[in-house]
Amino acid sequence: MTTPQPLEHVALAPHCTPGVGGPARFFLEARDELTVHQALAWSKARGVPFRMLGGGSNLVVADAGVDALVVRIAIRGITTRQIGGAIELTAAAGEPWDELVALAVERGWAGLECLSGIPGLVGATPIQNVGAYGQEVSETLTALRALDTVTGHVVTLNNAECGFSYRDSRFKRVEPGRHAILAVTYRLVPGGAPRVRYAELARHLAARGVGTPSLGDVRESVLAIRRSKSMVVDAGDENGRSCGSFFTNAIVSAADADRVARIAGDPALPRWPQPDGRVKLSSAWLIEHAGFARGHREGPVGLSTRHALAIVAHDGARAADVVAFARRLTAAVQARFGVPLTPEPVFWGLDA
């Protein structure tokens, strides 16, 4: 068995949706698990850091690039098995996420429908517990297989071991980069009703005259809403080069939420009470009320014309421009409302 040889100095910008950033010192595409093992052994033998890349839709790479072996995960394959009344769907890490959602919806398996249209690959969905429109993968994910890059062993982690919370997990902040995720299992409900928890989704379905929505109706509405906000990857979209939301929604104390409403003079401040008594605020609203309108441009970067949470890289933008603009947004929101914003993407070689 020959060990695959990594390529050298491979541009990462074309592999990332914002289209910015420098090269990987070493780069390898892994179409099977053996290649991931061999890549890890290769990087350990040379003392080169090891990093995993999926669809590059939640990643900002420094302009100087990364001095690492970047392994682009391209392992495909889907298996299903019936367990009692449920379906366990296991997908290899390189499966395109939205194709998996489409398959589940088509088969009538409930549990992923609101996550339609999220870019990227299956293997990244546990990293930040991807979520949208009232659903998160942590609600259906039962297990994942990963190569532990510290021990070199393959481990199976159950849901509790993933440490999921809002746009976060053990893999994002506690032990970033430790686990190379190989496959993920989701437990879905055949014939289950779709999740319609999110007011905007309910309104969209009602406007379409859909009384009792099917999974397909929900997928269609989610995709339409996402398109109207440039939240699907579309090459022809002027807002296309982004990581989607650049910040998570801010979660603050009830007293802080009241303070923000007072400062803005807006009692209609959008707020979502959390089970622990805190309140989730719309970071898009905070940015807009701190003086940055949708479409605001600063040189080659700016806010999306359709959503104030997305930072768009235009022609000539560098990663440094994206990050500097993000810092200005953070500082303005902090100065006006005293609320810190938390960046959502992962940064390689950069501090956000």
Ligand X SMILES: Cc1cc2nc3c(=O)[nH]c(=O)nc-3n(C[C@H](O)[C@H](O)[C@H](O)COP(=O)(O)OP(=O)(O)OC[C@H]3O[C@@H](n4cnc5c(N)ncnc54)[C@H](O)[C@@H]3O)c2cc1C
Q: Judge whether 167 counts as a catalytic residue.
A: yes
Nearest approach, Cβ of residue 137 and ligand X (Å): 8
Q: How far is CA 296 from CA 85, 228, 243, 333, in A?
A: 50, 18, 17, 15
Q: Is 116 among the residues that bind ligand X (CB under 6 A)? A: no
Q: Is 131 among the residues that bind ligand X (CB under 6 A)? A: yes
The per-residue b/e assignment along 120-158, b for 16 or more CB within 10 angstroms, e otherwise, is bbbbbbbbbbbbbbbbbbbbbbebbbbbebeeeeeeebe
Nearest approach, Cβ of residue 209 and ligand X (Å): 26
| 227 φ/ψ angles, rounded to the nearest 5 degrees | -60, -40
Which residue from 243, 311, 341, 350 is in contact with ligand X, where contact means CB under 6 A? 243
**What does DSSP say about strands 346-348 and 59-61: parallel, antiparallel, or unpaired?**
parallel
Which residue stretch of 22-30, 127-135, 187-195, 297-305 sits at the interface with ligand X (rule: CB under 6 A)? 127-135
Q: How far apart are CA 224 and CA 107, in angstroms?
A: 21
Q: Is 121 among the residues that bind ligand X (CB under 6 A)? A: yes
Q: Pick the closer one to ligand X by CB: 128 or 330.
A: 128
Q: Is 13 among the residues that bind ligand X (CB under 6 A)? A: no
Q: Is 132 among the residues that bind ligand X (CB under 6 A)? A: yes
Q: Is 123 among the residues that bind ligand X (CB under 6 A)? A: yes
Q: Are 122 and 97 in contact (CB under 8 A)?
A: yes
Q: Show the site string, 186-225: x = touches ligand X by CB under 6 A, - = not.
A: ----------------------------------------
Q: Are 187 and 142 in contact (CB under 8 A)?
A: yes
Q: Pick the closer one to ligand X by CB: 111 or 131.
A: 131
Chain positions 144 to 183 lying near ligand X, rule: CB under 6 A, are: 179-181
User: Which 8-state DSSP code applies to residue 114?
Assistant: G
Q: Are 113 and 101 in contact (CB under 8 A)?
A: yes
Q: How far apart are CA 59 and CA 20, in angstroms?
A: 10
Q: Is 127 among the residues that bind ligand X (CB under 6 A)? A: yes
Please identify which of the residues 138, 242, 245, 283 carries the catalytic annotation: 245
Q: How far is CA 269 from CA 146, 220, 230, 272, 286, in A?
A: 42, 29, 23, 10, 9
**What does DSSP say about strands 154-158 and 251-252: parallel, antiparallel, or unpaired?**
unpaired
Nearest to 101 by CA among 149, 55, 140, 51: 140
Q: Judge whether 175 counts as a catalytic residue.
A: no
Q: Pick the closer one to ligand X by CB: 95 or 321.
A: 95
Nearest to 250 by CA among 137, 187, 329: 329
Q: Show the site string, 25-64: x = touches ligand X by CB under 6 A, - = not.
A: --------------------------xxxxxxxxx-----
Q: Judge whether 197 counts as a catalytic residue.
A: no
Nearest approach, Cβ of residue 219 and ligand X (Å): 14
Please identify which of the residues 51, 72, 167, 219 carries the catalytic annotation: 167
Q: Pick the closer one to ligand X by CB: 121 or 323.
A: 121
Q: Report the catalytic residues.
A: 167, 245, 344
Write out the residues near ligand X by the rule CB under 6 A. Answer: 17, 51-59, 73, 93, 118-121, 123-125, 127-128, 130-132, 179-181, 231-233, 242-244, 346
